[in-house]
Structure 1
Amino acid sequence: MPTLGIITGKATSLVNVANDIAYAFRNKGYETIVSVERIIHFRAKEMFDKAIIFMVFDPFYIAPYLLNYLNYNRYGIKTVMYIDTAGKPKPYLIRDWMKKGIKYVSNSNFSRSMLVEAGIPVLDVVYHGINLEDVEVVKNDAEDLKNEFKERLGVNVLFGTVCTNHPKKNLRVFSNVVRKCVERLRDAGFVIVSKPEAEPLFKGVKNVVFDDSMGKMPRLESLALIGSFDYLIHPSISEGFGMPVLEAQAFGVPPIHGDYAPLTEISLKEASLRVAISRIDFNNFEEGIFYKCHHYEVEDMVEQVEKAYDIYNSMHEDYVEMSSKCLENAKRFDAKNIYLRLEKYIQ
């Protein structure tokens, strides 16, 4: 079998996907190399026969990776661009050469629509996958963590959030959600995993554990953490995919999230709690993307958290059914199967 090179950036979210792609292709017999550095074409030719380049389509950063793509193909390395975006890349930053002769595959229908709107042709959609073998490895650890958190906080229902402090993650608004919830739901606890800069937002709030190890935690530990929650709350207002929503479902953890694509593409309506969107706009965030932001009201998010709390405490059979449906849904995204859909684009 040939050797596959997977080129991506240094962000933890990118590396996790790259490693799962490698896992899928290794299962089919490929040798794989994952690199968080771009590899010049003449060296790449000595290292691998085919390549998948996975990146966010931000015009400020994507050009060198697209040049890699073009040079790889010129040197006989069959390559595909696997792309994520949480909004519309700024058209005035996109050069004509970026729109021609490049095979783009996006990670959600939402991403595809944003790219096409910006003039980027997209051949296909291949959703991200979850390594279900890794999930099995850490299930016992996840249960132990759940018990530790509940004992530490003295609560019965555990809500968790795992995200960076990027403005699109909406942590400032979400901190107000948490403050209201802990006052109304005495038996609810919250675990917030983010960057250290987000800690002041939750400082002094009762029944909250803040962990600043976002991006530094080993992959299996982060999975176990997500699996320890009774519910995952995904507060983000803008996503290209929303990986924690999928990861939670692989443990049977129902997600609470804004009612918008791509999150609605990967969760089930009957096994998630969706927060009504009150306003949609595009935000700059001083990057190369106009992020499509789906805003919700604090009270609407609080209402869904309260509903989740009641389901867990008073209608636990319904919670168990939701959990079971999440587990079944996650099987559709088994990494070792779903990422092989990229193979036809490197033949």
Structure 2
Amino acid sequence: MRAVAVITSDRSVSLQRVANDIIYVLRKHGYQNTRLILSANADPMLYQDVFMAIIVMTFDPAWVLPYCYLARTLKTRGKRVFFYTTIEGRARRVHGDHWIYRDLSFIANSMYTKEKLTEAGARVDAVVYHGVRVDAIRSYRWRAKYIRQKLGLSPDDFVVGYIAGGYMRKGHDVFAEVCKIVRERDPSIKFVVLTDKKGAQHYNDVDNVILIPEFGKLSNDMVYGLYHAFDLYAQASLSEGFGMPVLESLAAGKPVVHADYNPLSEITTPRTSFRVPVVDVTYKRELGAIEFELHFYDPAVFAEMILYAKDEVLRNRDEYEARCIERAREFDVEKTYKYFVVTSTLKGEELGFQV
């Protein structure tokens, strides 16, 4: 049986989750011989029986080069290749990279990613939003009470969650200020932040924040259960190429407070989110060769939006939950990753995807 290879990095939990969801959909549609490869290993023996390869990798010229080389190599061997990617700002062109833009084309995970790839000179075949398994996330609703008790939260606490690594672009320093402002206005609001040790440093003096410094280490059932323990989700990041926690929180029935920029505003709707104006946009390198597009917001305005959102959620919790789940179902993996369920001749636009 001809095989499909789904290839991603062994260092990114989020990319692996996307890759595994793609494999799940492919297998449901009859592609049983589908395997996950966690490296850009171009050994021909790995791909002897492969007719289609799907590479899931961030478009950062500092890290993506081996995956681009693999994509081009597989194409020259007659394989069908999809390069599914995301970007969080401006790609810095580097000497000798012309072949990437000449020989390859890409699938963007958001309209924002498509825009930034096009600005860099890359060809984009389609936009395929990341998907979510809504019913799988909903099945962990029962864990909410247990998790809240384990975290020392009372039934009267209104819990706002944030899940992100400790990178500069995730805005933990700004969000810590938001938490402090909320603490002065409403002590009943508690924040739960799942991050790593680097991110946790920003909350050392913020006593209304419960830290879980285990980002990337918890099982899916713990993370999905955590969403259900929240009353509201805050996506405090300054830069995103997509924003999977936003989609996962919607699947758990939780509305989102976030700065009003794409791609976050592509995922939510005005009826499932509370949007904070962006007051400044700057570009800054962190690691790699991306100038991250940072969307700054006023912490006081973000805090005020959380206070407003609390009143709205408590007044119309069931209505918000229904809206959020309905929105998440528009991104069900069966809909989004249908794009990859293709034959060697079927085009993405024939399946109704944006090009």
Question: Which residue in 1 is equivalent to 2:353?
Answer: none
AA at the equivalent of 1:44: L
Distance across 2 between alignment mates of 1:323 and 1:85: 30
1:341 aligns with 2:342: no
Question: Which residue in 2 is equivalent to 1:126?
Answer: 128
Distance across 2 between alignment mates of 1:260 and 1:68: 33
Contact 1:194 1:213 (8 Å CA) reproduced: yes
Distance across 2 between alignment mates of 1:346 and 1:127: 22
Tell me which moved more, 203-212 or 82-91: 203-212
TM-superposition CA deviations, 1:259-308 (whole Å, max 9, x none): 00000001011210111100011112242111111100111111111111
TM-superposition CA deviations, 1:211-242 (whole Å, max 9, x none): 01101111222121122211111110100001
TM-score (ref. length: structure 2)? 0.91
Contact 1:229 1:253 (8 Å CA) reproduced: yes
1:299 aligns with 2:306: no
**Structural mapping, 1:112-261, within 5 Å:** 112-146=114-148, 148-149=150-151, 152=153, 155-261=156-262
Change (3 A) 1:345 1:295: farther
Distance across 1 between alignment mates of 2:271 and 2:96: 40
Contact 1:111 1:240 (8 Å CA) reproduced: yes
Question: Which residue in 1 is equivalent to 2:83?
Answer: 81
Change (3 A) 1:13 1:120: same
Change (3 A) 1:281 1:75: same
Deviation of the 1:133 alpha carbon? 3.6
Change (3 A) 1:338 1:2: farther
Contact 1:59 1:93 (8 Å CA) reproduced: no
Deviation of the 1:168 alpha carbon? 0.4
Contact 2:182 2:303 (8 Å CA) reproduced: yes
**What secondary structure sits across from 1:160 in the alignment?**
strand
Identity %: 28
Deviation of the 1:160 alpha carbon? 0.4
Deviation of the 1:191 alpha carbon? 0.4
AA at the equivalent of 2:158: V
Distance across 2 between alignment mates of 1:273 and 1:73: 44
Distance across 2 between alignment mates of 1:42 and 1:190: 49
TM-score (ref. length: structure 1)? 0.93
Tell me which moved more, 125-134 or 90-99: 90-99
Question: Which residue in 2 is equivalent to 1:331?
Answer: 329
Question: Which residue in 2 is equivalent to 1:72?
Answer: 74
Distance across 2 between alignment mates of 1:174 and 1:94: 40
Change (3 A) 1:176 1:54: same
**Structural mapping, 1:5-44, within 5 Å:** 5-9=5-9, 10-30=11-31, 31-44=33-46
Contact 1:80 1:345 (8 Å CA) reproduced: no
1:273 aligns with 2:274: yes
AA at the equivalent of 2:204: K
Tell me which moved more, 198-207 or 230-239: 198-207
| Alignment partner of 1:46 out of 48, 54, 61 | 48
Distance across 2 between alignment mates of 1:172 and 1:94: 37
Distance across 1 between alignment mates of 2:299 and 2:192: 18
Contact 1:59 1:94 (8 Å CA) reproduced: no
1:56 aligns with 2:54: no
Tell me which moved more, 103-112 or 336-345: 336-345
Stretches of structure 2 lacking an aligned partner (at least 5 in a row): 346-355
Question: Which residue in 1 is equivalent to 2:320?
Answer: 322
**What secondary structure sits across from 2:48 in the alignment?**
helix
Deviation of the 1:153 alpha carbon? 5.0
TM-superposition CA deviations, 1:42-88 (whole Å, max 9, x none): 12323532110011110111111111011112223211100100111
**Structure number with higher helix proportion:** 1
Distance across 1 between alignment mates of 2:122 and 2:44: 27
AA at the equivalent of 1:273: F
Tell me which moved more, 54-63 or 127-136: 127-136
AA at the equivalent of 2:140: V
Distance across 1 between alignment mates of 2:343 and 2:229: 37
Distance across 1 between alignment mates of 2:283 and 2:341: 34
Distance across 2 between alignment mates of 1:25 and 1:286: 34
Change (3 A) 1:94 1:161: farther
Stretches of structure 1 lacking an aligned partner (at least 5 in a row): none
AA at the equivalent of 1:5: A
Distance across 2 between alignment mates of 1:165 and 1:42: 37
Q: How many matched pairs? A: 343
Change (3 A) 1:161 1:106: same
